[in-house]
Amino acid sequence: MVTHKKLVFCLLFGAFLLFLPSAPASADSGRYLIKSTKGFWKNAFGVRHVFDVGFTSELSDFQIRLAKMFGVEIEPVSVLQILPEEAVAPPETNTDKPTNAESHSVQGRGKPPVTTRYQPSDQTPWGVEVIYGDSNILTTSGGTGVNVAILDTGIYSSHPDLARRVSQCKDFTNQRTPIINGKCEDKNGHGTHVAGIVAADAGVDGEGIFGIAPEAELFVYKVCGNNGSCYADDIAAALNTAVSEGANIVNMSFGSNQQSLLIKNAIDSAANAGLLLVAAAGNDGPFEDSIDYPAAYASVMAIGAINKFLDITDWSSRGINEDTTPNVIEDRDIEFAAPGEYIESTWTNGGYVIHSGTSMASPFIAGLAAKYWQTGADEPGPATRNFLHSLATDLLPPEDDNGSGLGLPQVK
Ligand SMILES: [Ca+2]
Ligand SMILES: [Ca+2]
Ligand SMILES: [Ca+2]
Ligand SMILES: [Ca+2]
């Protein structure tokens, strides 16, 4: 019987694969997309994430040769990078410690150590002032009931300005377990900084820093490792999870020059599901068409970085707006510019640091989208995007340009 023979072959072959000595890793071993939906290959290789086009797995050199021998199409999973351009030493006032907290930090028996309460140099830093169009602003507001997924390096969820904002926490970066619920610890700092720009709420004591939409709920999805590298399949899985969990907005402060089929498919389904996608344009300027993916997709809002003088920074990636239809967002266009140089925000020690990059510009727009989320509209995502367009003030050079697109959207 053919089926019986087939079964015996599969069992023997499966056992053969199981007992193979693990070969030393070479340049070729690593994470691959296996373009097959067959259970046999899933069992033989192990599954990290399943997608419509196939599944991903860590493959040894032997497994790669095996796939090729049997004509199974495989391709390496691409890796993206977080996009900070520059970090600056913490401001002087950042290290001011309340003396009473310090005096209690002696390790008394049975007493938990008292954590230092750091204070920002400005509770409403320059970027917040610019977005709110008010240099004297003392607090911010908005974002109630809006879910913002932050796909990044995780978060320091004990930060007093963020602790009440985290409503979901998932780790997609663990080598052995594809998704770990309730774990999203940030050992890099980038994700904590980005999250603070979106939704820092100054803490229960009101002494901390303010983000743009301090009432928004954060879905913290750790897709980038502590070294800042982010596998495309983990990003795609997080995007799919954002859709199924009911996220409204997704911030992606990472990028790559290369496209990824897995990310493209996940972006398309998230956009079709009505989510509003926001991404850092990249830090490869000032050259035309230096914009990164996924920001380069028309369905993703690409955000460039301006400095305090509202000039686009040299390093902010440029789009091709001046060669495409003005005021219509197409592939490889910049959509907006937002503050991205010397941005003070939350850090992994419970304090604050200053970072620069389009990584910092993107969350200003994600936060503004949360503040103005068009709950009542038939399609809130596209309606919010249109509303943000209506809030934009043109920046120089005049009209829709390669650096700042439609300009700077501000609270009105
Ligand atoms: Ca201020
Ligand atoms: Ca875009
Ligand atoms: Ca255009
Ligand atoms: Ca302009």
Ordered by start, the domain boundaries in the chain are 24-77, 81-409
pLDDT at 82: 96
The closest ligand to the CA of 328 turns out to be 3
Catalytically active residues, by annotation: 152, 190, 359
* Dihedral sign computed on CA atoms, order 46, 51, 53, 58: negative
pLDDT at 97: 45
| Pairwise CA distance, residues 364 & 216, whole Å | 13
pLDDT at 394: 98
The closest ligand to the CA of 125 turns out to be 1
Q: Which two tokens stand for residue 227?
A: 């070294």
Q: Which two tokens stand for residue 330?
A: 């197409």
Burial label for 338, CB within 10 Å (0-12, 13-18, 19+), is buried
pLDDT at 101: 38
Nearest to 360 by CA among 307, 288, 285: 307
pLDDT at 29: 86
The closest ligand to the CA of 277 turns out to be 2
pLDDT at 155: 98
Please tell me the distance between residue 193's alpha carbon and the centre of ligand 3 in angstroms.
Answer: 31
State CA 408 to chain mean position distance: 21
pLDDT at 246: 98
Please tell me the distance between residue 303's alpha carbon and the centre of ligand 4 in angstroms.
Answer: 13
Cβ count within 10 A of residue 64:
19
Give the chain's mean pLDDT.
91
Please tell me the distance between residue 303's alpha carbon and the centre of ligand 3 in angstroms.
Answer: 14
Please tell me the distance between residue 134's alpha carbon and the centre of ligand 1 in angstroms.
Answer: 9
Cβ count within 10 A of residue 98:
14
pLDDT at 98: 43
Please tell me the distance between residue 354's alpha carbon and the centre of ligand 1 in angstroms.
Answer: 14
| Pairwise CA distance, residues 402 & 336, whole Å | 10
The closest ligand to the CA of 362 turns out to be 2
Please tell me the distance between residue 183's alpha carbon and the centre of ligand 3 in angstroms.
Answer: 40
pLDDT at 84: 79
| Pairwise CA distance, residues 268 & 331, whole Å | 13
Name the CATH superfamily, with its identifier, for domain 81-409: Peptidase S8/S53 domain (3.40.50.200)
| Pairwise CA distance, residues 72 & 68, whole Å | 6
| Pairwise CA distance, residues 281 & 318, whole Å | 8
Angle subtended at Cα 119 by Cα 118 and Cα 124, rounded to the nearest 5 degrees? 145
pLDDT at 108: 41
pLDDT averaged per 10 residues, the chain (length 412) = 56 54 63 97 97 97 96 97 78 46 40 76 98 98 98 98 98 97 98 98 98 99 97 98 98 97 98 98 97 98 98 98 98 98 97 97 99 98 98 98 98 95
DSSP classification of residue 289: T
CA dihedral 147, 405, 252, 254 (to 10 degrees): -170
